Structure 1
């Protein structure tokens, strides 16, 4: 049986879904990813991981279903670049909450956003509570692909922990998933190494963060080094992404706010 909810009829959703059903919405973006990657990179990774993870989780007995990918999201950090199609923070928040409202009309009570774009993270955090408060669903968000910065090993560049956009990990994933969409002849290093030397300021998990646009660090809008990326490294990351997603979905399926008695 297909686990794609959009392939079911309306009456079938009412029959097949129940309060323990987990509905997964991949969230990506349509945004500039340098001259070497497609605009669809984030949506491609999120949807690919979601499809594989939902199928594997269902094979292990989880009542899990996949909704269509949300692609037009908050990508204003790349608004300077041709081809980026983005919505405002208020539009994305309203859209996420409306998706929750719609899911609440089904018997399902667990909604997961599997996110492939960092620019969506803040709005997803707000949306989880809004949907919970307004529509009573159990709400969750989780990252899509496992992406690591190149650490300078024999087969990878050293991104100094700053490979956050169109760099080694992301390029490797797309090389694995859709090598026909990657032009490695256009891949160039753009690592803001001066930031790596700072103690408190940075991108992810640092004490303090800063507002930025992707072309603040170079005209290509790349933050990282894609030059050492490979399909082989991408397969390792993709397989790890699926394993992590299945593990998270397993916990989500069993999650309750109530402490065990």
Structure 2
């Protein structure tokens, strides 16, 4: 693809010819994580790499004079599903890595690093945003993770976004379809169909009735809703659902209905991702700060 180069393949001579002020670096960052019996452990990175390709196509149309540099993918992230096979790193580790990357790129004259991500772990997204804000304040550098915004739209059923992708609740990656369900299986059918196993015979997995800690968090969310604090209420409901699912050993390592997946839905979701991402990148290029404020941002002090 014209204007797109792999960072690792460059020689020093080729690298020195790059106008770093007119270059955008892109990097896929997501964990190795169990995605049920039908999707591979690298699902989030594979989807992220497809998103990276589509981001590049859209960016080249809008900024044909920019150089796009692809950094090697990083199979790393926080809050992976706590079952055998998943690998989780600490939020502080991810935050430090991203900030170091931003610092090194900034020292060489680069201004932009776009993270291609597909993982909704709370501390994962919060670590990304903490690193983004530190990169801005320390280096005036734009570290952009569009998925923080997209994920919030999915979970909170943003009307404009759902209309854009022509999908409904329950198959748009919301809490009922949070992990390796209809949405992620559709995305994989659209991006790496050869890696999807026998998904038509995988039964649906639903959120169980809340109990214990998850019930208490859900109850607290209802209290905040009555107080008119809708955003905090929505975050607490989301947190309650996550706690309910991940802490119950009887639950399946996926959530949603994989058998309802299809490649067309995956293509529409991909286009929705690209639309939101390119809009955020455009705003950064125009000088707006790249803050994306993920769900549960107000819990950032507890991310470690």
- TM-score, with normalisation over the residues of structure 1? 0.80
CA distance in 2, matches of 1:15, 1:22: 15
Question: Which 5+ residue runs of structure 1 have no aligned equivalent?
Answer: none
1:30 has 2:32 as partner: yes
The aligned residue for residue 81 of structure 1 is 84
Report how many residues are paired: 250
1:163 has 2:163 as partner: no
Deviations 1:196-220 (A, max 9, x none): x96737xx98142346363627442
Q: Going by fraction, where is helix more abundant, 1 or 2?
A: 2
The aligned residue for residue 137 of structure 2 is 133
1:223 has 2:238 as partner: no
* Structure 1 runs, 4 residues or longer, greater than 6 Å off: 144-147
1:177 has 2:191 as partner: yes
The residue correspondences of 1:29-48 to structure 2 (distance < 5 A) are 29-48=31-50
The residue correspondences of 1:1-261 to structure 2 (distance < 5 A) are 1-4=2-5, 5-61=7-63, 63=66, 64-75=68-79, 77-82=80-85, 84-119=86-121, 120-143=124-147, 158=170, 161-183=175-197, 184-192=199-207, 194=209, 200=221, 206-208=234-236, 209-210=239-240, 212=243, 214=246, 216=248, 218-256=250-288
Q: Secondary structure at the match of 1:221?
A: coil
| Distance change >3 Å, CA 186–CA 19, structure 1 → 2 | same
Answer whether contact 2:27 2:72 (CA < 8 A) is retained. Answer: yes
Shift of 1:133: 3.2
CA distance in 2, matches of 1:102, 1:163: 38
CA distance in 2, matches of 1:205, 1:176: 34
CA distance in 2, matches of 1:173, 1:60: 25
Answer whether contact 2:200 2:258 (CA < 8 A) is retained. Answer: no
Answer whether contact 2:125 2:148 (CA < 8 A) is retained. Answer: no
Answer whether contact 1:89 1:123 (CA < 8 A) is retained. Answer: yes
The aligned residue for residue 297 of structure 2 is none
Shift of 1:145: 11
Q: Secondary structure at the match of 1:192?
A: coil
Answer whether contact 1:13 1:106 (CA < 8 A) is retained. Answer: no
CA distance in 2, matches of 1:158, 1:15: 49
Deviating more after overlay: 93-102 vs 17-26: 17-26
CA distance in 2, matches of 1:118, 1:205: 18
Answer whether contact 1:112 1:139 (CA < 8 A) is retained. Answer: yes
CA distance in 2, matches of 1:223, 1:249: 31
Shift of 1:142: 1.1
CA distance in 2, matches of 1:171, 1:145: 21
| Distance change >3 Å, CA 249–CA 157, structure 1 → 2 | closer
| Distance change >3 Å, CA 139–CA 156, structure 1 → 2 | closer
Shift of 1:146: 6.2
Answer whether contact 1:24 1:112 (CA < 8 A) is retained. Answer: yes
| Distance change >3 Å, CA 157–CA 81, structure 1 → 2 | farther
Q: Secondary structure at the match of 2:116?
A: strand
